[in-house]
Each structure stands twice: as structure tokens, then as C-alpha cells.
């Protein structure tokens, strides 16, 4: 593993989803397909909520470095939710009735948080989500071949791009939270609340999606789901425990070599990063499909 100070970059990506794209875009791991699909449903509501929280924070700051970081962070998050909107619309167009139902629930959640909760709560939620996203990003990259191997390249590329950038802006909300509040109890409460909230809504979503595909009550599928979740949480738990330390700082978390290579390839003008070769995810650097 290597580490570096990576300046945030707002990237415009063009993910081209095939006409024949199905909800089970990873045929080897259909349960993982719907876990990711369900998590994607939150992004067009979660990320505008984070953006609004950071805009409120921006008005309270005078440090030009922090203000510049907020602007870059907002740019990245805006790009994320717009890409997820397109993907989620494709899911809805496939006939998944869980998509509009879950979107309504998630929209109401984040509208309520923004209107009824304190700025301190929303700031802590933002930092809690970003700490969680950093842990998930490392897990996804570390286990990328198992989770995304031989899956639909555009979807795998979308998710890995998103979390490479979550790793890239790992200290943005932490620095803002520290500058405007910094209390350990609030940081931990934000982490716990954001994690429980997002994971509960994700479970609600993937259960409905799997049910519509006839996989929720199938005992083999249910066992595969449990095994997959056990694998994911086995890798996440040590990372979450590290976040709980009073002296935690995301800068202490080394950036994965694969993420460093992704950033370097983008900086060199590699356009194929929107279409990764998912048969070669074990390679130490991102490999793109020929002709992409």
C-alpha cells in the first residue's frame, strides 16, 4: 500500500450502459448486484443533502483552503449523484417497482433531516457517511475481483470510480467537522447513525429487488446473500473499529495502490476508465476494454 496527498479533481465520466443491461448485472453474484442497486438508489437524495450541508458549512468558514476543498467536494458529489440518477432510471425502466417506492422513502428521509435536524447533526452525519464510504471504498477495491469480476463493465466502472473519489476526498468533511465542531461524541454518533440508516435502507431496497426477481425466498439465494454479507462485514469491521479511535484521522489511512494507479491513468488522459475490463481486475492497475 502507498499513500499520497491527492488533490480532489472533478471528473466528467461517460458511462455507457448497454441496451440489454439487466438488474442482475453480475451474473456470478446476483445478490451483490441488488445490494449495489439498492445503495445506488440513495445517491440522488443523500448527495444533494451532503452538498446542502457543506454549503451551510461554507458560509461559516473563513479559511480559504477549507472553502476551496468544499467547492471541489461539492463538484465531485454532484457528478456522483447525476451518474447514479441515470443508472437508477434504467433500473426503473426495467420494471423494478421497488425503485420509485424506495426513492420516495429516501427523498423523505433526507428532506426531514435537512429541515428538522440541527446543523450539528447534519454535519456529523456527513462526516459519518464519508468515514463509512472510505471504509467501503477500501473494501471494494481490495475485493474487486470477487465482487465485480466478469460483471457488466459500465456498472463496475461506475461504482469503482465513485469510490476511488470517495477515497480521494476522504479528509474533506473531516476537516470541516473538526473546524466547526470537532466533538468526539458527535463524530461517533454521526458515524453510527449514518451507517445504521444507510444500511437499513439498503437492506430494505435489496430485499424488494431480490423478491421481484424471485430470489428473496430461494434458500440458496438467501444463503449466498448471508455469505456475501459475512465476507463484506469481515473486511469492514477492522476499518470501522479504527474510525472509532479518538485520535482517528482519515489521512492515516493509506491510499490503495489501485486507486493511485486509477488517478494516475486519468491524469494521463485514459478515457477507458469508464469501461474497465472486468476480466482483469486482479491486475495491479486498472485495465480498460480494448477500443474503449
Please write the tens of the pLDDT for every residue from 14-50. 999 999 999 999 999 999 999 999 999 999 999 999 9
Give the separation between CA 99 and CA 76, rounded to whole angstroms.
24
What local confidence, expressed as pLDDT, does residue 292 receive? 60
Among 162, 135, 165, residue whose Cα is nearest residue 236:
135
Neighbours of 35 (CB within 10 A): 22
Q: How is residue 156 written as a grid cell? A: 463496475
Give mean pLDDT, residues 203-231: 97
pLDDT over 70 (residue 57): yes
Task: Output the pTM of the full model.
Answer: 0.95
Among 254, 260, 20, 283, residue whose Cα is nearest residue 148:
283
pLDDT over 60 (residue 257): yes
Give mean pLDDT, residues 222-228: 98
What local confidence, expressed as pLDDT, does residue 269 receive? 86
Which of the listed CATH numbers 1.25.40, 1.10.10, 1.10.620, 1.20.81 matches domain 30-274?
A: 1.10.620
pLDDT band at 291 (very low <50, low <70, confident <90, very high): low
What local confidence, expressed as pLDDT, does residue 6 receive? 61
Burial status of residue 10 (CB atoms within 10 A of its CB: 0-12, 13-18, 19 or more):
middle
Q: To the nearest whole percent, how much of the chain has pLDDT over 70?
A: 97
CB of 128 closer than 8 Å to CB of 183: no
CB of 59 closer than 8 Å to CB of 180: no
pLDDT band at 290 (very low <50, low <70, confident <90, very high): confident
CB of 84 closer than 8 Å to CB of 106: no
What local confidence, expressed as pLDDT, does residue 95 receive? 96
The rounded mean pLDDT for the chain is 96
> Domain boundaries in the chain?
30-274
Give the separation between CA 257 and CA 1, rounded to whole angstroms.
6
pLDDT band at 2 (very low <50, low <70, confident <90, very high): very low
Give mean pLDDT, residues 160-178: 98
Give the separation between CA 2 and CA 127, rounded to whole angstroms.
24
Give the separation between CA 81 and CA 202, rounded to whole angstroms.
16
Q: Which uninterrupted H or E stretch holds 55? A: helix 30-58
pLDDT over 60 (residue 124): yes
Give the separation between CA 59 and CA 63, rounded to whole angstroms.
11
Name residue, grid cell 473499529.
241
Angle between helices 119-142 and 153-168 (to 10 degrees): 130
Name residue, grid cell 454549503.
55
Give the separation between CA 6 and CA 230, rounded to whole angstroms.
32
CB of 201 closer than 8 Å to CB of 106: yes
Amino acid at each position: 500500500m502507498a499513500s499520497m496527498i491527492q488533490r480532489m479533481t472533478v471528473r466528467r465520466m461517460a458511462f455507457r450502459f448497454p441496451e440489454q443491461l439487466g438488474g442482475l448485472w453480475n451474473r456470478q453474484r446476483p445478490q451483490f448486484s441488488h445490494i449495489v442497486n439498492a445503495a445506488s438508489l440513495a445517491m440522488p437524495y443523500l448527495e444533494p443533502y451532503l452538498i446542502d450541508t457543506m454549503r451551510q458549512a461554507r458560509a461559516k468558514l473563513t479559511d480559504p483552503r477549507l472553502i476551496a476543498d468544499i467547492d471541489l467536494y461539492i463538484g465531485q458529489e454532484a457528478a456522483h449523484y447525476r451518474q447514479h440518477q441515470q443508472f437508477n432510471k434504467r433500473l426503473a425502466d426495467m420494471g423494478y417497482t421497488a425503485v420509485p417506492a424506495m426513492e420516495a422513502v429516501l427523498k423523505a428521509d433526507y428532506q426531514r433531516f435537512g429541515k428538522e435536524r440541527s446543523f450539528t447533526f447534519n454535519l456529523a452525519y456527513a462526516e459519518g457517511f464519508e468515514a463509512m464510504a472510505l471504509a467501503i471504498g477500501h473494501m471494494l477495491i481490495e475485493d474487486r475481483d470477487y465482487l465485480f469480476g466478469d460483471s457488466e463493465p459500465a456498472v463496475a466502472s461506475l461504482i469503482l470510480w465513485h469510490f476511488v473519489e470517495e477515497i480521494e476526498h476522504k479528509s474533506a468533511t473531516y476537516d470541516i467537522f473538526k473546524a466547526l465542531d470537532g466533538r468526539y461524541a458527535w463524530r461517533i454518533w454521526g458515524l453510527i447513525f449514518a451507517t445504521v440508516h444507510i444500511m437499513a435502507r439498503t437492506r430494505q431496497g435489496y430485499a424488494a429487488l431480490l423478491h421481484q426477481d424471485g430470489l428473496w425466498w430461494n434458500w440458496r439465494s438467501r444463503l449466498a446473500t448471508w455469505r456475501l454479507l459475512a465476507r463484506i462485514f469481515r473486511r469492514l469491521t477492522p476499518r470501522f473499529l479504527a474510525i472509532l479511535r479518538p485520535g482517528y484521522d482519515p489521512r492515516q489511512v493509506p491510499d490503495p495502490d489501485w486507486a493511485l494507479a486509477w488517478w494516475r491513468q486519468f491524469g494521463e488522459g485514459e478515457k477507458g476508465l469508464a469501461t474497465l475490463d472486468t476480466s482483469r481486475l486482479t491486475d495491479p492497475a486498472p485495465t480498460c476494454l480494448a477500443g474503449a
